Structure 1
Amino acid sequence: MALTRFPERPNRHDLLALVLTLGLLALFLEASRETVGPFHPNPISLDPLKLPEYTLRTAFRMGVAFLLSTLFTLVYAPLAAKTRLEPFLISLLDILQSVPILGFLAATAGAFAALFPGRALGYELAAIFAVFTSQAWNMAFSFYQSLKTLPRELDEAATLFRLSPWQRFFRLELPFALPGLVWNAMMSMSGGWFFVVASEAIAVGKTQVELPGIGSYLATAIAQGDGRAVVLASLSMLVAILAYDQLLFRPLVAWSQRFKYEERPGLEPARSWVLDLLRRTHTLRGIAEATFSWALEALFQLERRRPPRRPILPQWVLVLPLLLLGGIGAFILWRQLQPLGWLEVARVFLLGFFTFLRVMGVLLLATAIWVPVGILLGLRPRVAQRVEALLQILAAFPVNLLYPLLALFLLRHHLSLEVFSAFLMALGTQWYILFNAVAGSMALPEDLKEAARSFGLKGLTLWRRLLLPGTFPHILTGLITASGGTWNAAIVAEVVQWGSLTLQATGLGSYIARWTLEEGQGPHLLLGIAVMSLYVVVINRFVWRRLYRLAEERFRF
């Protein structure tokens, strides 16, 4: 297929799109310039004139991490949903989302720095990987849920038309999953902003590194008690969030609505000025369409020429190495934790139980409040589009900036952090449930809504017969990711600091935060991470997994 023949000549929209593209490319190159150079551990300046540079560096790290999260999702979720390794891969995903971001930093900061000694790239990769761990698991769970709840008639149609695996993926599975995946991608980006302070102001044992960015700027401002700098950093973060909303997520939301699964047209789709600009171009749109068509055709041709599949290896050949690695890991963990004694292990499990109670309380409260709100928003797409940017800002705002003010409030009114830390945890994790409820409600086919109106379903009957069953798979994805996010938020919420003032709550989060600063990679930190992972995996296995099977069997279109 020739790439040089286009039906129309370039127009003014091509020029505007080219200017926008070159501008974004210039910003990307400027942000990446310092990444590959020598590392200069200069102190973070609170000069407001430094904020544009810091904002650009942080936005660059967030974008790279988001790209890696997307690639991870498109590979990992299909493997988990469609291969015999599903139990292992889902269990591994449960474990990965349960490991706190401080745990990933403790394990990878030194390793990345050793790979590139004396270069900034090592610490940059550590920060990007930390942000990646706050984004990827949510997106992977969303895509996995969509693959497992694919409508049966679409599955049968793909079999009837004899679609190859690649054709099935690009023409059926990915389009069906896109509306929910885009909303979860927005939530993942917001989760990355929430943990940007920990990812840029790396404090793991003896490793104390501050990378230029909004996160390290905020950490410095909080440590010095500079409220003015905190406000300025928050405004800079707001600008970056709005830029991502207008240039990336709003176009994606508007574009993904064309893949909504329904048998009759719904309301007018969402609009985006960026998407409208790209659709009105001649040259750029022609290049994009021709390139995409050529890539798909080349992929399908390659698949047709592939030799016949060989017999699949027995399952034990795949499972045995995994069991061997698991056994070796368990032995190493036992050797590391042996000096601590069983009394310390029991104490940490008790601390985990206190955090578990807070996590369950947060999930129940957030579900009761935000599921109805999200479903009602999704039923009104125009309203959802208008508040989309506001939801991203609220979800992305690092509420740990409010913790010092809340700490002063608690001290002034003699209130205990033991109880109110649960509300601090909810501020950072309730959005997983809200975004998935909105996505599930928007995915409800219009013909089902019309049928409900025809039968006169109203009030509780409508919620019980259509709204809750129809959005249940999405809500469940939100609960799973919110559960892991709440455990992570406990590390921030159970220890509140403003200048020399520090408040701590009894729990596993404060235990991990304390030993991360004191020993970096010692047995206490390893024990805290292991106990938190065990709690999350057990909850996922005995609660969320069973609900997932229920969603797959009973609540799919």
Structure 2
Amino acid sequence: MVFFFEDSQGARPLVRASRTDRYGVSLPDLAAFLLLAGAAVLVFHGASAMDQPLSQLRSAPVTLDLAQLPEYALRSTLRMFAALAASLVFTFTVATLAAKSRRAALLIIPALDILQSVPVLGFLTFTVTLFMGLFPGNQLGAEAAAIFAIFTSQAWNMAFSFYQSLTTLPTDLDEVSRQFGFSPWRRFIRLELPYAMPGLVWNIMMSMSGGWFFVVASEAITVGDTHLTLPGIGSWLALAIDRADFRAVGWGVFAMGLVILLYDQLLFRPVVAWADRFRFEQTASGQAPRSWVLDLLRRSRGLERLGQALRQPFVWWEARWPAAAPRRIRRPTPRKASPVADLLWAAALGVACLFALWTLGHYVAAHLSLSDMGTAFGLGSLTLLRVVVLIALASLIWVPVGVWIGLHPVWAERLQPLAQFLAAFPANVLFPFAVMLIVGLHLNANLWLSPLMVLGTQWYILFNVIAGASAIPGDMKEVAQMFRIRGWQWWRQIALPAVFPYYVTGALTASGGSWNASIVAEAVDWGHTHLEAAGLGAYIARATAAADYPRVVLGIAVMSLFVIAFNRIVWRRLYVFAERRLRLN
């Protein structure tokens, strides 16, 4: 039996050959050139605007002038894609190392748990001064701080998705790669990256949306006496909310939706259609996603030549990487672990953790009392209860919806931009309605502010389930139809086992994102009205605004402790179960 990645379009040509004019330049070539040239001009313009004196932020502050909104949209989009590029480099490096090395995973996976639990405001509190010091008197320092904050809202779910794909790689494909003696580089390019691509693409889209969710906190930075407002949609929305201007809020949301629609059509939909060729199939797949942009680019002979030129360095590198000796097709025998080396490694990690805990405890104890620590743990328990209930409700709703969308490519294409827009919708935009509803009906803020926590994080579950359902092999669906497996039996034997590894990744990142979102959801403002729910997020938000660093450190440490404990007890065990029992073989 042979396993292969097949282009779902097969050998059938995607489009007809294009006509050329008398100069030999085709219309697709011209259209592709205009698209790339336009993108290059916008990138150059936005990058040059970022490299300006810091004093210009004060001399030309952010306004609610509609003429400035396109410029703000461009600046925010460039920050998002700069953070996304950094997230991809981080994902390919860190997640691959964790999947390849058991000892590295002992350090990397808990570190990812900690980092995804640290709120965006927590990173900003301690990094703004650092980045401003790297570029004194220049906007690049503030831009770097904003990009890093967006990076912290994008990188973790991409790393977890790639790690999950590498650890659930089908054994048959692994054995074939060993038989042909793939070098590490060839194995990564030819097997691991293509296999992980469908799920990674959906998580990239979710990461972009997650960045939009925190764009207000990233562009309108307030840490103690430091106030930085970078031109962008986030700062526009922050100013509109501060002035209680419904009209400006509406224009900001419209601009954000237009930007999402543009990069969905011009970038993400072509990538989704291209990544479909890497689905793990034993038979030719059915209807595949299509993209007019991808069809246009495939018809461009100029881009084809450019792509061949860009591939040459990778081909040269791959040809010079020493190949491993071919092996017979057999299951690799696991290498025996060295008890002494494992003991030394565990001891080193333990000493480092104890030193970090001692340093943290000494700093907090020098400024706060035991009652402050008890208060932080009590508020953390309240936020934990909200997170667990909200993730459970989101799972009950979005798992069936995600499976249905993933099994219907036509609807997936139609709903993809809508899902991205809803995932990117900042919770701050709903503050006016939440405040008016709670105040007008005299509702309990502790209960009715909670849905704002899961507003942006529930989509991690939906996007990952869609990726898992769309990756179900066609032969598996055909067997289910042949044996008339339907109803609950189909869900129990086909759908749920197939999407479970993806769901765990989505639920894990949604859980961490909900903790992060508690910073903005448990304490909301609209004009001069302030509402607050008892919880750790509101505790950290108050301490950050007051530049109360001991309480900021205590709040972040307690939040990290809760997240790590929950991940270890629940999500990590489900990861192991998915890796051992639900691997496609």
TM-score (norm 2): 0.90
- Measure, in 1, the Cα distance between the counterparts of 2:422 and 2:105: 35
Do structure 1's residue 351 and structure 2's residue 379 form an aligned pair?
yes
- Measure, in 2, the Cα distance between the counterparts of 1:323 and 1:426: 34
Map Cα deviations across residues 455-482 of structure 1 (whole Å, 9 max, x no partner).
1111111001110011100011000000
Map Cα deviations across residues 41-70 of structure 1 (whole Å, 9 max, x no partner).
333211111111111110110110111111
Q: Give the alignment partner of residue 57 of structure 2, picking from 41, 57, 61.
A: 41
> Where do 1:74-473 residues align within 5 Å?
74-83=92-101, 84-292=103-311, 294-304=312-322, 314=341, 322-338=349-365, 339-473=367-501
- Measure, in 1, the Cα distance between the counterparts of 2:454 and 2:403: 19
Map Cα deviations across residues 426-471 of structure 1 (whole Å, 9 max, x no partner).
2121101011111100000010011011111111110011100111
- Measure, in 2, the Cα distance between the counterparts of 1:291 and 1:140: 26
User: 1:399 offset after TM fit, Å?
Assistant: 2.7
> Where do 1:465-484 residues align within 5 Å?
465-484=493-512
**Once the two structures are aligned, what percentage of the paired residues are identical?**
50
- Measure, in 1, the Cα distance between the counterparts of 2:535 and 2:369: 19
Q: Give the alignment partner of residue 53 of structure 1, picking from 71, 94, 102.
A: 71
Tell whether the 8 Å contact from 1:377 to 1:438 is kept in structure 2 after alignment: yes
Aligned residues between the structures? 543
User: 1:18 offset after TM fit, Å?
Assistant: 1.0
Tell whether the 8 Å contact from 2:543 to 2:551 is kept in structure 1 after alignment: yes
Q: Give the alignment partner of residue 64 of structure 1, picking from 82, 85, 105.
A: 82
- Measure, in 2, the Cα distance between the counterparts of 1:184 and 1:392: 11
User: 1:316 offset after TM fit, Å?
Assistant: 6.4
Matching residue of 2:17: none
Matching residue of 1:3: none
Amino acid at match of 1:234: V
Amino acid at match of 2:57: P
Amino acid at match of 1:20: L
Residue range with higher mean Cα deviation, 471-480 or 236-245: 236-245
Tell whether the 8 Å contact from 1:349 to 1:531 is kept in structure 2 after alignment: yes
User: 1:405 offset after TM fit, Å?
Assistant: 1.1
Amino acid at match of 1:544: W
User: 1:326 offset after TM fit, Å?
Assistant: 3.2
Tell whether the 8 Å contact from 2:403 to 2:469 is kept in structure 1 after alignment: yes
- Measure, in 2, the Cα distance between the counterparts of 1:223 and 1:411: 18
Q: Which runs of 5+ in 2 are unaligned?
A: 1-19, 325-337
User: 1:323 offset after TM fit, Å?
Assistant: 4.6
Do structure 1's residue 500 and structure 2's residue 528 form an aligned pair?
yes
Matching residue of 2:10: none
Q: 1:321 to 1:109 in 2, by over 3 A?
A: farther
User: 1:289 offset after TM fit, Å?
Assistant: 2.5
- Measure, in 1, the Cα distance between the counterparts of 2:349 and 2:217: 32
- Measure, in 2, the Cα distance between the counterparts of 1:254 and 1:366: 28
User: 1:240 offset after TM fit, Å?
Assistant: 1.1
User: 1:318 offset after TM fit, Å?
Assistant: 5.7
Residue range with higher mean Cα deviation, 34-43 or 437-446: 34-43
- Measure, in 2, the Cα distance between the counterparts of 1:317 and 1:248: 47
Matching residue of 2:517: 489
- Measure, in 1, the Cα distance between the counterparts of 2:269 and 2:417: 8
User: 1:322 offset after TM fit, Å?
Assistant: 4.7
- Measure, in 2, the Cα distance between the counterparts of 1:449 and 1:82: 32
Map Cα deviations across residues 6-43 of structure 1 (whole Å, 9 max, x no partner).
xx964221121111101000000111112122112333
Tell whether the 8 Å contact from 1:437 to 1:471 is kept in structure 2 after alignment: yes
Amino acid at match of 2:252: A
User: 1:506 offset after TM fit, Å?
Assistant: 0.3
Matching residue of 1:4: none
Amino acid at match of 2:106: P
Tell whether the 8 Å contact from 1:361 to 1:422 is kept in structure 2 after alignment: no
Tell whether the 8 Å contact from 1:193 to 1:398 is kept in structure 2 after alignment: yes
- Measure, in 1, the Cα distance between the counterparts of 2:541 and 2:507: 24
- Measure, in 2, the Cα distance between the counterparts of 1:366 and 1:289: 45
Do structure 1's residue 15 and structure 2's residue 30 form an aligned pair?
yes
- Measure, in 2, the Cα distance between the counterparts of 1:324 and 1:123: 36
Q: Which runs of 5+ in 1 are unaligned?
A: 1-7, 307-311
User: 1:331 offset after TM fit, Å?
Assistant: 2.5
User: 1:193 offset after TM fit, Å?
Assistant: 0.2
- Measure, in 2, the Cα distance between the counterparts of 1:157 and 1:57: 46
Tell whether the 8 Å contact from 1:348 to 1:531 is kept in structure 2 after alignment: yes
Amino acid at match of 1:16: A
Matching residue of 1:309: none
User: 1:319 offset after TM fit, Å?
Assistant: 5.8
Q: Give the alignment partner of residue 40 of structure 2, picking from 6, 17, 25.
A: 25
Tell whether the 8 Å contact from 2:182 to 2:323 is kept in structure 1 after alignment: no
Amino acid at match of 2:322: R
Question: What SS does structure 2 have at the residue aligned with 1:150?
Answer: coil
User: 1:290 offset after TM fit, Å?
Assistant: 3.7
User: 1:302 offset after TM fit, Å?
Assistant: 3.6
Amino acid at match of 2:314: L
Tell whether the 8 Å contact from 2:434 to 2:449 is kept in structure 1 after alignment: no
- Measure, in 2, the Cα distance between the counterparts of 1:268 and 1:386: 14
Map Cα deviations across residues 147-204 of structure 1 (whole Å, 9 max, x no partner).
0101111111111111111111000000000000000110010000000000000011
Matching residue of 1:529: 556
Matching residue of 2:13: none
- Measure, in 1, the Cα distance between the counterparts of 2:71 and 2:476: 50
Question: What SS does structure 1 have at the residue aligned with 2:227?
Answer: strand
Question: What SS does structure 2 have at the residue aligned with 1:202?
Answer: strand
- Measure, in 1, the Cα distance between the counterparts of 2:349 and 2:579: 27
Amino acid at match of 1:29: F
- Measure, in 2, the Cα distance between the counterparts of 1:61 and 1:315: 42
Residue range with higher mean Cα deviation, 136-145 or 425-434: 425-434
Matching residue of 1:518: 546
Tell whether the 8 Å contact from 1:10 to 1:281 is kept in structure 2 after alignment: no
- Measure, in 2, the Cα distance between the counterparts of 1:463 and 1:318: 43
- Measure, in 1, the Cα distance between the counterparts of 2:157 and 2:526: 31
Tell whether the 8 Å contact from 1:137 to 1:481 is kept in structure 2 after alignment: yes
CA RMSD of aligned residues (A): 1.7
Matching residue of 1:5: none
Q: 1:305 to 1:423 in 2, by over 3 A?
A: closer
- Measure, in 2, the Cα distance between the counterparts of 1:334 and 1:380: 53
Question: What SS does structure 1 have at the residue aligned with 2:273?
Answer: helix
- Measure, in 2, the Cα distance between the counterparts of 1:237 and 1:321: 47
